[in-house]
Structure 1
């Protein structure tokens, strides 16, 4: 994999820190999550997001759904850091929704 095949992502819990991940997997999972997560409250829980992701992400990138949860969490934290996703810190379990007007084409 060449350097251009990677993308830097952020983590809302570690401001200023970035990690490099596979660009294709990032873009596919990000796009799928932005289609699934609504642009209004109450949003979806992590479990609900994962349940909706499993049938739509390509098996060739995540065979048998392997590591979907890791990618889901990494992209959720990145999108929160970028101000695209909102988190309700008071809900149990936690819920996320898109910032209206951001993230969905």
Structure 2
């Protein structure tokens, strides 16, 4: 059985879900690589496109399920303050200074 990790959701404070730890870690690395500190905010669609060169083919062959995992990781990283969302729609994400 795959190792699990607990993730938070910025939209549901206090609620945690358990997800595959290896896939979470692979997407976490890809998100941070695609959205470096100081980069301008990206929409979720732009971030999904920027992830492609950073995706682990072992975990996301051909980009399979990458959209779901991006959403899972970005909501968790927002809850933890690693990513921040701009106040106006559509959702635009960036890394706060110093993160």
TM-score calculated relative to the size of structure 2: 0.90
How many residue pairs end up in the alignment?
Answer: 99
Which is further off, 14-23 or 54-63? 54-63
- Partner in structure 2 of residue 84 of structure 1: 82
| Equivalent residues in 2 for 1:27-66, closer than 5 Å | 27-40=25-38, 42-66=40-64
Structure 2: give runs of 5+ residues left out of the alignment: none
Structure-1 separation of matches of 2:30 and 2:40:
19
**1:41: Cα distance to partner?**
6.5
- Partner in structure 2 of residue 7 of structure 1: 5
Contact 1:42 1:95 in 2 (8 A): no
Runs (4+) of structure 1 exceeding 4 A deviation are none
Structure 1: give runs of 5+ residues left out of the alignment: none
Contact 1:85 1:97 in 2 (8 A): yes
Structure-2 separation of matches of 1:47 and 1:28:
19
- Partner in structure 2 of residue 100 of structure 1: 97
**1:15: Cα distance to partner?**
0.3
TM-score calculated relative to the size of structure 1: 0.85
Structure-2 separation of matches of 1:36 and 1:64:
17
Contact 2:34 2:54 in 1 (8 A): no
